[in-house]
Every structure is written in C-alpha cells, then in structure tokens.
A and B are shown apart, each in its own frame.
Chain A
Amino acid sequence: MTTIVENKPAYDGKALDLTGRSGSRAFKNTLATVLIVLAFVVALIPLVWILWTVVSKGYHLLLSADWWSQSQRGVTVRREGGGAYHAIMGTLIMALITAVIAVPIAIMGAVYLVEYGKGTKAARAVSFMVDILTGVPSIVAALFIYAVWITVFGFNRVGFAVSLSLVLLMLPVVLRSTEEMLKLVPDELREASYALGVPKWKTILKVVVPTAFGGIITGVMLGLARVMGETAPLLILVGYSKNINTNPFNGFMGALPTMINQDRTELALQPAADRVWAAALTLILLVLVLNLLARLVARFSTIKSK
C-alpha cells in the first residue's frame, strides 16, 4: 500500500481510491446520465403542455349540466350554449358496436393461435397478418370500408360503416392482448380438466378463458380507447350531425372528434373555441378513464405463473 502511495507524488493524504475511473470515462458516464434524464424531461414537456392546454381551456363548459344533457341542435358557431350529448352518444354507440363485432372475433382468433394452431404454418400466417393489421392506418381502413360499403354495395354514409372500419383497428389490439394472456394460463389447469374427461372446447371456454378474463378485459378497454379517438373514419364514412341520432343505420351522427373538427376553423370565435376545447377534454377524459380502468383490471387479475 505504502509503495503505491509513494509512487504518486501528488498524493494529497486521502485514502487511495483504487476503484476510481479515468476522467474521460467518468465524464462519459455523467454525460450519459444527464442526456438520459434530459430525454425523460423532454418527453414529459408535451404531455404536460397538451393536458394543461386542454384542461385550462375546456374545463368550464364541462361543469355545466347542459354539456352532458343537450345537443348542438340549432346552435350556431357564434352562439354559446348547447352541449355534447349528441357527440358523446355517437362516440359511445359506434364504439359499442365496434366492440360487439370485434371482441368475439379477437378472442376466438387468440384461442386459435394459442390452443389450436400453436406452431403450425397457418398460425404463423395469422399471427403475421395480425401484426400487419395493427399497422394498417385508420385512413386505409376507412377507405376499405368506403370501397365495400358505399362504392360496391351502394349504401349510405352511416355510423355503422364507421364501426366496421373501427373493427379493423380494434381487432388486432384485443387479439394480441388476449393471446398474451391465454399463453400465461398454466398448462396444469388444462391437463387437470382433460384428465377429468372434459372436452377441449369446454376446457377452453370454462377454464382457460375465465382464468385469462382480466387480461382480456384490459385488452378490450385498450382497444376501445384506441378507436374512440379516431377521426379519419368519421370524416370519410359519416357526416357530422348536430342533432341527437341514436340510429347507427340511418342518417348522420355526431361524434366527439368530428365535433372538434366541425368548429376548429372558427377558433377565433370564443363560443366555438370553448366548445372545441371542451369536446377535446371530454374525449381525453373518456379515453383516459378507459385506460385507467384497463390498468386497474390488469392489476387485480394478473395470472401468477409460478
């Protein structure tokens, strides 16, 4: 120890730090830490900024009962008043129809991937196509439904057509999360069920799917959250209506994204601007509540793999 110390002429009396790093390595380490923390701060800025903008500009309309109970019927851009009831109903109705169509297909598709097709070429093809479907832009899904629904079949632009195009967007989300959950179900459960002579389909329906139920619900909510904020299909497949319309097969339908889109060119007018930001806040709240519920369900229903 002493020899080492004596070899260092500039020894200042402190204990020798043998683990010390050379200056440049320590500097690089510090630099990396700073950059990484900086990246995190940079990522948070837009989040806080956007939320603050929307909340501060939109909250006051949300406090009135009219917002939740009235439509925009007869309300012009320059006038205050009216609510978002028509748009909230439209968004919820279209999302509900989407879920009713997409969820069964998604769950059965996941069952196929995990229980029936495991390791086969066909399953790999399906899995590949699910990935492709995940990446299909909403505008392409909307154009596809436009081509089928309006150009080929000659139907009108209605809410149901929007739901059909949203199915394309929701299906892969729910399918993937269901697949991940089904994979986590321990094989012991299946084996125990088979050992009791239970047929495979009942095993899946009453043992495997219920065990994974929490995860499936999480996937459904995340899928709903994704489709509710979509605007492109609404622009192409249904007109915006200021009136309450609960019939997805007839007439135009209001929805929160198109309500925002409707007034966004008139933002110089205070009543219109208020409505735009309030509708944006309502939409974010809807999506957020679904996301939080999904997380909550996920937290309380994780399958413990030993």
Chain B
Amino acid sequence: MSSPDGTAPPDRPADPAAAGAEPRIEDLVDETSGPTPHFDALAELRAGDERPTDSTTREQTGPKLELGPVGHLGDRLFSGLARGSGGLVVAIVAFVGIFLLALAIPALADNKANFLFSRVWEPGGSDPRFGIAGLFYTTVISSIIAMIIAVPIAIGVALFVTYYAPRRIATPVAHAVDLLAAVPSIVYGLWGLLFFAPIVLPVINGLSSALGWIPLFEKPIGDNVGVIFTISVVLAIMILPVVTAISREIFAQTPVAHREGALALGSTKWEMIRMAVLPYGRSGVTSAAMLGLGRALGETVAVMIILTVPNGNDPWNPSIFSGGETFASKIANNAAEFDSPEKTGAFIAAGLVLFVVTFLVNSAARIIVARSAPGAKRPRRNRRATEGASV
C-alpha cells in the first residue's frame, strides 16, 4: 500500500487534517533524534487501519492512547502544568467564594438589621444597617420577566433559522442575532434610556390601566421611564443571542429519522416541530433559559443606567412599573463609596449573595443538561451519537 517515495499514498488524499500534520510529525522525529522518518510505516499503519472512525470505535480505543511514553521529564512537567491549570480554575471559583465571604463576615457581624429580610441600606457609621430583601426582589423579578420575554422569541428565531428560513438566509440571520451579543452593555444602557424607554412608556400605561388592581402592575404617579419593566425588556434583548444560539444548536440536532417520521405520518410542519423537534430540544432550551437568567441576574451597567434609584424615604413598592436597584447596580452605583472596610463589606456581602444566586442558577442549568443525556449540551458528541443511533 505504501508508495516507494515515502509519502502518503496518493489514493488517500481526502484527509486534509492528517495531511496538514504530517510535516509536523517529521519535525518531531528529527528533533527527538529517533529513527529517520518512516512515512511508509505511517502510511501502512493508516492504510491497514480498516477501523471505522465512528464514535463508538473511537471511544473504545481511548485507553490505548495511554501507551504513550510515560516518566519522561517533559511529560511530567507538561502534565503537571495541565493539571495545575485545571486545578487553578477550581481554585479561582473557590477563592471568589472564600474571599467574598471572608470580607463580608465582619460587616455582617456589625450589621444591626436583618441581612436577608431587611430593605434598608445604610452601611458605614457606628450603627450600620443593611439588608438585601429589596435588591433581591428587584434582581429576581427583572430577570424573570426578561426570561419570560426572551425565551419564546429565542425559540422562534432558532426555529426560523433551523427549519423555516432558506439556507441562504439562515446563516446571515444567525450571525445577525449573534451580533446583538457584540454590543457592549453600556451601549444597551444608553440606547435603552434615551430611545427605547420612551417607546415602552405607552405599553406601561396600557398594562397598568388594565391590570393596575394587581400590586405588581400598579403604576406610581408620574411618567418614570427608568422602571423595572423597561430594564426587563432591555435585559431580554441582551440575553436573546445566548438563548437563541444554544436553542439553535439543539434544534439542528433533532434526529432526521424523528423529523421525517413525523412528516411521513402526514404531519404539518408545525406538528413535526411540536412532536419531534421541541420535545427533543426541551432540556437544551431549559438550560439555555437558565444561562440567560444567569446573565440577566448579573447584568450591571445597563441596569445601572436605566433603572431609577428610588428616594430613600419612599415606601417600598413591589410594582414592576416603579424604580429599584439590583445587586449589581447597587454595587456599581456606589463604587465611589468603598472608603471604609465596613461599608465595602456590606457591598461585598451583596456581591456574595449575587454570586451564590448565579452559582445556583448555573448549576441548575448544568444539572438539567446532565440529567437528560440526548439533546443536551456537548453538541459534537451528541451529533455523533444521534447519527449512530439513526443509521
């Protein structure tokens, strides 16, 4: 099978990746002053290699890879570096929690108010009082509304890109929606406050006159544009690209057999999507929504710019048509006040709660993915697995 001139056999050119790497192997062999390059051997090895390269076989050969020489100094160094980097990632996350906790504890010990259930925020001084109830409420309600708005639209866009748009349009559309992620959040903030909020105002007025009897939709007097509802819509736009991108990948992986089966039974396109595509992608879309929620919870600058900070003496208003502060916007708004350790500690305590909340939300997203093996994350492995199943 091997050609006499020592190059790869000409009848096997259809492997660009391997071809691209061959010179590198040559370099290596020279450097290690091993045997002269035996491309015949290499080619023979590959030519005689009749194994199909689908996922199952490849995974079975996995353990054999460990046959590479061990005990080499370079090997030990390199694997040490790799393990160290992996460990560093774990350490960073642990340190974030530990450091924030360590600096929050003294402030929490001095706190005269109930940290979890109080709404006052007067850190510093001899009698610090601060609690996160108000921040927590605003953060969670604005992010949940953002998710409620963004997820259906994201599913629609993802379905449009994967199953409705002609391929020539689908790719540019997908890229265009991704572009939304390239807009910095401070630009969203400016645009949201100056151009978008005035447009939302009539919607707010309409909603509050129809549903105003529910405290959640009760509108305070005056035309305030910097309200929770406005920021929710802006947050929805900001998380749209993330949710769309993940949903798109999942929908595209729906096994062809499922889709064609549905169509063969006489389904309309929508019935095919409802019965084959959506159930397959449910866990993926759920985790995408959770990731979007995580993003919305931690968004800082856009919230800081748009949301009106209520006057300290005003009674608390649960309405989504009133102003407020989220964890992130509270911290960013008061960055200039980090002068004494007690004050800083209060904000760090708020940051710690935000960290814990996003940690829980992201873990939940991850667990949802792990629980439902097919149609979950890890797109590539899945694609192979599903192809294997449908063949």
Q: Which of B114-122, B124-132, B188-196, B210-218 is the contact stretch? A: B188-196
Residue of B nearest to A280 (CB): B187
In the complex the two chains form, is B82's CB within 8 Å of A109's CB? yes
Q: Quick check: is B331 within 8 A (CB to CB) of the other chain?
A: yes
**What are 20 inter-chain pairs, A to B, with CB distance below 8 A?**
A19-B266, A38-B156, A43-B156, A116-B82, A128-B363, A131-B362, A135-B362, A139-B351, A143-B348, A144-B100, A197-B32, A200-B79, A205-B78, A211-B20, A225-B182, A232-B300, A236-B332, A260-B186, A261-B301, A288-B179
Q: How far is the CA of A20 from the CA of B331 in the complex (A)?
A: 61
In the complex the two chains form, is B194's CB within 8 Å of A148's CB? no
In the complex the two chains form, is A36's CB within 8 Å of B164's CB? yes
Q: How far is the CA of A168 from the CA of B179 in the complex (A)?
A: 23
Q: Which of A6-14, A45-53, A74-82, A241-249 is the contact stretch? A: A45-53
Q: Quick check: is B137 within 8 A (CB to CB) of the other chain?
A: no
Cβ contacts B290-306/A at 8 Å (1 or 0 each) = 01001101111100010
Q: Quick check: is B183 within 8 A (CB to CB) of the other chain?
A: yes
Q: Quick check: is A72 within 8 A (CB to CB) of the other chain?
A: no
Q: Quick check: is B391 within 8 A (CB to CB) of the other chain?
A: no
- Nearest CB of A to B332, in Å: 5
In the complex the two chains form, is A189's CB within 8 Å of B348's CB? no
Partner of A117, one of B16, B83, B177, B271: B83
Residue of A nearest to B46 (CB): A188
Q: Which of A23-31, A61-69, A92-100 is the contact stretch? A: A23-31
Residue among A183, A210, A232, A283 with most chain B CB within 10 A: A232
- Nearest CB of A to B9, in Å: 14
Q: With a CB–CB cut-off of 8 A, which chain B residues contact A115?
A: 82
Q: How far is the CA of A19 from the CA of B38 in the complex (A)?
A: 64
Q: Quick check: is A293 within 8 A (CB to CB) of the other chain?
A: no
Of all A-B residue pairs in the complex, the 9 with the closest CB atoms, nearest first, are A137-B298, A39-B156, A229-B184, A201-B78, A108-B85, A135-B362, A32-B270, A112-B82, A200-B68
In the complex the two chains form, is B362's CB within 8 Å of A203's CB? no
In the complex the two chains form, is B75's CB within 8 Å of A201's CB? yes
Q: How far is the CA of A50 from the CA of B302 in the complex (A)?
A: 14
Q: Chain B interface residue count: which class?
A: 35 or more
Q: How far is the CA of A174 from the CA of B81 in the complex (A)?
A: 17
Q: With a CB–CB cut-off of 8 A, which chain B residues contact A191?
A: 45, 61, 64-65
Q: With a CB–CB cut-off of 8 A, which chain A residues contact B75?
A: 199-201
In the complex with contacts A128-B366, A198-B32, A201-B78, A54-B46 CB distance below 8 A: no
Q: With a CB–CB cut-off of 8 A, which chain B residues contact A123?
A: 86
Interface residues, chain B, with chain A CB atoms under 8 Å away: 15-18, 20-21, 24-25, 27-29, 31-32, 34-35, 38, 41-42, 45-46, 49, 53, 58, 61-62, 64-65, 67-70, 72, 74-75, 77-79, 81-90, 92-93, 95-96, 99-100, 102-103, 152-157, 159-161, 164-165, 173, 175-180, 182-188, 190-191, 194-196, 237, 240, 244, 266, 268-271, 273, 291, 294-295, 297-301, 305, 327-328, 331-332, 335, 338, 341, 344, 347-348, 351, 354-355, 358-359, 361-363, 365-366, 380-381
Q: With a CB–CB cut-off of 8 A, which chain A residues contact B270?
A: 28-29, 31-33
Q: Quick check: is A5 within 8 A (CB to CB) of the other chain?
A: no
- Nearest CB of B to A30, in Å: 8
Given contacts A31-B270, A40-B156, 5 further A-B contacts (CB under 8 A): A46-B196, A147-B100, A196-B38, A202-B32, A231-B300
Cβ contacts A181-200/B at 8 Å (1 or 0 each) = 00111111111111111111
In the complex with contacts A137-B300, A183-B380, A186-B17, A143-B78 CB distance below 8 A: no
